[in-house]
Amino acid sequence: MDEKKKELLLKASEVYMKYGVKSVTMDEMARQLGVSKKTLYQFVKDKNDLVENCMLLQHEEEKLKIEEIIKKTDNAIEQMLYISQLIVSELQQIHPSIFFDLAKYHPNVMNMMECHKHEYICGSIEQNLINGINQGLYRKNLNPKVISAIYVGMIDLVLSGQLMSESKLGPSEVYSEMFRYHIRGCANEQGLEYLVELIKNDDSLSAHL
Protein backbone atom coordinates (compact mmCIF):
# COMPACT_ATOMS: atom_id res chain seq x y z
CA MET A 1 0.00 0.00 0.00
CA ASP A 2 1.18 3.51 -0.82
CA GLU A 3 2.70 5.08 2.32
CA LYS A 4 0.75 8.33 1.93
CA LYS A 5 -2.51 6.40 1.67
CA LYS A 6 -1.58 4.26 4.67
CA GLU A 7 -0.79 7.33 6.76
CA LEU A 8 -4.11 8.94 5.75
CA LEU A 9 -6.07 5.77 6.59
CA LEU A 10 -4.40 5.40 9.99
CA LYS A 11 -5.31 8.98 10.86
CA ALA A 12 -8.84 8.54 9.52
CA SER A 13 -9.24 5.41 11.65
CA GLU A 14 -8.28 7.42 14.73
CA VAL A 15 -10.97 9.98 13.87
CA TYR A 16 -13.64 7.27 13.52
CA MET A 17 -12.51 5.63 16.77
CA LYS A 18 -12.84 8.95 18.58
CA TYR A 19 -16.10 10.28 17.12
CA GLY A 20 -17.88 7.26 15.62
CA VAL A 21 -18.60 6.73 11.94
CA LYS A 22 -22.01 8.27 11.22
CA SER A 23 -21.24 11.68 12.68
CA VAL A 24 -18.06 12.21 10.60
CA THR A 25 -18.87 13.51 7.12
CA MET A 26 -16.23 13.59 4.39
CA ASP A 27 -15.98 17.37 4.87
CA GLU A 28 -15.34 16.88 8.57
CA MET A 29 -12.87 14.08 7.90
CA ALA A 30 -10.89 16.30 5.51
CA ARG A 31 -10.86 19.02 8.17
CA GLN A 32 -9.72 16.58 10.88
CA LEU A 33 -6.94 15.27 8.64
CA GLY A 34 -5.84 18.74 7.59
CA VAL A 35 -6.26 18.03 3.87
CA SER A 36 -8.66 19.20 1.19
CA LYS A 37 -11.63 17.02 0.27
CA LYS A 38 -10.12 16.82 -3.22
CA THR A 39 -6.98 15.25 -1.75
CA LEU A 40 -9.10 12.81 0.25
CA TYR A 41 -10.90 11.69 -2.91
CA GLN A 42 -7.57 10.95 -4.57
CA PHE A 43 -7.29 7.95 -2.25
CA VAL A 44 -10.92 6.79 -1.85
CA LYS A 45 -14.12 6.88 -3.93
CA ASP A 46 -16.56 7.81 -1.16
CA LYS A 47 -17.20 7.48 2.56
CA ASN A 48 -18.02 3.77 2.40
CA ASP A 49 -14.77 3.16 0.53
CA LEU A 50 -12.89 5.11 3.20
CA VAL A 51 -14.50 3.14 6.03
CA GLU A 52 -13.80 -0.13 4.20
CA ASN A 53 -10.14 0.75 3.62
CA CYS A 54 -9.74 1.81 7.25
CA MET A 55 -11.15 -1.53 8.41
CA LEU A 56 -8.89 -3.52 6.08
CA LEU A 57 -5.85 -1.65 7.34
CA GLN A 58 -6.88 -2.14 10.97
CA HIS A 59 -7.16 -5.89 10.36
CA GLU A 60 -3.70 -5.99 8.80
CA GLU A 61 -2.21 -3.96 11.67
CA GLU A 62 -3.87 -6.26 14.22
CA LYS A 63 -2.48 -9.35 12.48
CA LEU A 64 1.03 -7.88 12.52
CA LYS A 65 0.78 -7.12 16.25
CA ILE A 66 -0.49 -10.62 17.04
CA GLU A 67 2.28 -12.16 14.95
CA GLU A 68 4.81 -10.10 16.92
CA ILE A 69 3.36 -11.48 20.17
CA ILE A 70 3.57 -15.05 18.85
CA LYS A 71 7.22 -14.48 17.88
CA LYS A 72 7.91 -12.99 21.31
CA THR A 73 6.84 -16.14 23.19
CA ASP A 74 5.65 -19.63 22.28
CA ASN A 75 3.92 -20.09 25.66
CA ALA A 76 0.16 -20.35 25.03
CA ILE A 77 -0.89 -18.59 28.24
CA GLU A 78 1.56 -15.73 27.77
CA GLN A 79 0.37 -15.28 24.19
CA MET A 80 -3.26 -15.02 25.29
CA LEU A 81 -2.40 -12.57 28.06
CA TYR A 82 -0.49 -10.24 25.76
CA ILE A 83 -3.16 -10.51 23.06
CA SER A 84 -5.76 -9.60 25.68
CA GLN A 85 -3.72 -6.51 26.59
CA LEU A 86 -3.69 -5.54 22.93
CA ILE A 87 -7.46 -5.99 22.57
CA VAL A 88 -8.25 -4.09 25.77
CA SER A 89 -6.03 -1.23 24.62
CA GLU A 90 -7.88 -1.10 21.28
CA LEU A 91 -11.33 -1.30 22.90
CA GLN A 92 -10.50 1.60 25.22
CA GLN A 93 -10.04 3.83 22.17
CA ILE A 94 -13.28 2.88 20.40
CA HIS A 95 -16.28 5.22 20.33
CA PRO A 96 -19.30 3.30 21.77
CA SER A 97 -21.45 3.91 18.69
CA ILE A 98 -18.98 2.57 16.14
CA PHE A 99 -20.34 -0.99 15.87
CA PHE A 100 -23.94 0.23 15.64
CA ASP A 101 -22.88 2.72 12.94
CA LEU A 102 -21.13 0.01 10.93
CA ALA A 103 -24.04 -2.43 11.17
CA LYS A 104 -26.62 0.18 10.13
CA TYR A 105 -24.79 2.34 7.60
CA HIS A 106 -21.91 0.17 6.34
CA PRO A 107 -23.11 -3.47 6.42
CA ASN A 108 -20.45 -4.56 3.91
CA VAL A 109 -17.74 -3.34 6.31
CA MET A 110 -19.48 -5.08 9.21
CA ASN A 111 -19.45 -8.28 7.15
CA MET A 112 -15.70 -7.86 6.65
CA MET A 113 -15.25 -7.61 10.40
CA GLU A 114 -17.39 -10.73 10.90
CA CYS A 115 -15.23 -12.67 8.43
CA HIS A 116 -12.08 -11.47 10.19
CA LYS A 117 -13.40 -12.70 13.54
CA HIS A 118 -14.70 -16.04 12.36
CA GLU A 119 -11.67 -16.85 10.19
CA TYR A 120 -8.53 -15.21 11.54
CA ILE A 121 -9.45 -14.73 15.23
CA CYS A 122 -11.20 -18.09 15.56
CA GLY A 123 -8.28 -19.84 13.83
CA SER A 124 -5.74 -18.11 16.07
CA ILE A 125 -7.61 -19.10 19.24
CA GLU A 126 -7.96 -22.69 18.05
CA GLN A 127 -4.20 -22.91 17.42
CA ASN A 128 -3.48 -21.36 20.82
CA LEU A 129 -5.67 -24.00 22.49
CA ILE A 130 -3.91 -26.81 20.64
CA ASN A 131 -0.50 -25.40 21.65
CA GLY A 132 -1.60 -24.97 25.26
CA ILE A 133 -2.78 -28.58 25.47
CA ASN A 134 0.51 -29.81 23.97
CA GLN A 135 2.45 -27.64 26.45
CA GLY A 136 0.55 -29.15 29.39
CA LEU A 137 -1.01 -25.80 30.33
CA TYR A 138 -4.60 -26.33 29.18
CA ARG A 139 -6.99 -29.13 30.05
CA LYS A 140 -6.53 -32.17 27.78
CA ASN A 141 -10.29 -32.70 27.39
CA LEU A 142 -10.79 -29.31 25.69
CA ASN A 143 -12.30 -29.31 22.21
CA PRO A 144 -10.33 -26.52 20.46
CA LYS A 145 -12.89 -26.04 17.66
CA VAL A 146 -15.79 -25.68 20.09
CA ILE A 147 -13.94 -23.43 22.56
CA SER A 148 -12.60 -21.15 19.82
CA ALA A 149 -16.14 -20.78 18.45
CA ILE A 150 -17.42 -19.97 21.95
CA TYR A 151 -14.66 -17.38 22.36
CA VAL A 152 -15.65 -15.62 19.13
CA GLY A 153 -19.30 -15.81 20.24
CA MET A 154 -18.35 -14.01 23.45
CA ILE A 155 -16.49 -11.37 21.41
CA ASP A 156 -19.72 -10.86 19.43
CA LEU A 157 -21.55 -10.35 22.73
CA VAL A 158 -19.00 -7.76 23.85
CA LEU A 159 -19.24 -5.86 20.56
CA SER A 160 -23.04 -5.97 20.48
CA GLY A 161 -23.15 -3.54 23.40
CA GLN A 162 -25.84 -5.55 25.17
CA LEU A 163 -23.68 -6.42 28.16
CA MET A 164 -22.36 -2.87 28.35
CA SER A 165 -25.86 -1.39 28.59
CA GLU A 166 -26.92 -3.96 31.20
CA SER A 167 -23.77 -3.78 33.35
CA LYS A 168 -22.97 -0.10 32.66
CA LEU A 169 -19.37 -1.15 31.96
CA GLY A 170 -17.20 -0.17 29.00
CA PRO A 171 -16.19 -2.65 26.27
CA SER A 172 -12.65 -3.09 27.65
CA GLU A 173 -14.02 -3.94 31.12
CA VAL A 174 -16.52 -6.42 29.70
CA TYR A 175 -13.81 -8.03 27.56
CA SER A 176 -11.45 -8.32 30.56
CA GLU A 177 -14.15 -10.19 32.48
CA MET A 178 -14.77 -12.43 29.48
CA PHE A 179 -11.05 -13.13 29.18
CA ARG A 180 -10.81 -14.18 32.85
CA TYR A 181 -13.67 -16.58 32.22
CA HIS A 182 -11.90 -18.01 29.15
CA ILE A 183 -8.35 -18.43 30.44
CA ARG A 184 -9.30 -19.78 33.87
CA GLY A 185 -11.74 -22.22 32.27
CA CYS A 186 -9.09 -23.54 29.84
CA ALA A 187 -6.03 -23.74 32.11
CA ASN A 188 -5.31 -26.89 34.09
CA GLU A 189 -3.70 -26.85 37.55
CA GLN A 190 -0.20 -26.40 36.10
CA GLY A 191 -1.46 -23.65 33.80
CA LEU A 192 -3.13 -21.79 36.68
CA GLU A 193 0.06 -21.98 38.74
CA TYR A 194 2.01 -20.57 35.81
CA LEU A 195 -0.64 -17.85 35.39
CA VAL A 196 -0.31 -16.76 39.02
CA GLU A 197 3.50 -16.59 38.74
CA LEU A 198 3.26 -14.64 35.50
CA ILE A 199 0.99 -12.05 37.11
CA LYS A 200 3.33 -11.73 40.10
CA ASN A 201 6.20 -10.88 37.76
CA ASP A 202 4.23 -8.46 35.57
CA ASP A 203 1.94 -6.01 37.36
CA SER A 204 0.48 -4.80 34.06
CA LEU A 205 -1.26 -8.18 33.64
CA SER A 206 -3.05 -8.18 36.98
CA ALA A 207 -5.76 -5.82 35.71
CA HIS A 208 -6.93 -8.51 33.27
CA LEU A 209 -6.92 -11.36 35.77
Residue 89 lies in a domain: yes
In which domain, by residue range, is 139 found? Answer: 46-208
Residue 19 lies in a domain: no
Residue 13 lies in a domain: no
Residue 189 lies in a domain: yes
Q: Are 29 and 50 in contact (CB under 8 A)?
A: yes
Residue 61 lies in a domain: yes
Residue 104 lies in a domain: yes
Cα 29–35–37 angle (5° rounding)?
65
Cα 89–95–96 angle (5° rounding)?
105
Residue 26 lies in a domain: no
Taking only the tens place, the pLDDT of each residue in 115-163 is 998 899 999 999 999 999 999 999 999 999 999 999 988 888 777 766 6
Q: What is the pTM of this model?
A: 0.86
Taking only the tens place, the pLDDT of each residue in 97-121 is 888 899 999 999 999 998 998 899 9
Of residues 69 and 155, the one with the higher pLDDT is 69
Overall domain count for the chain? 1
Residue 17 lies in a domain: no
CATH number of the CATH domain containing 189: 1.10.357.10
What is the spatial distance between Cα 137 and Cα 76, in angstroms, rounded to a whole number? 8
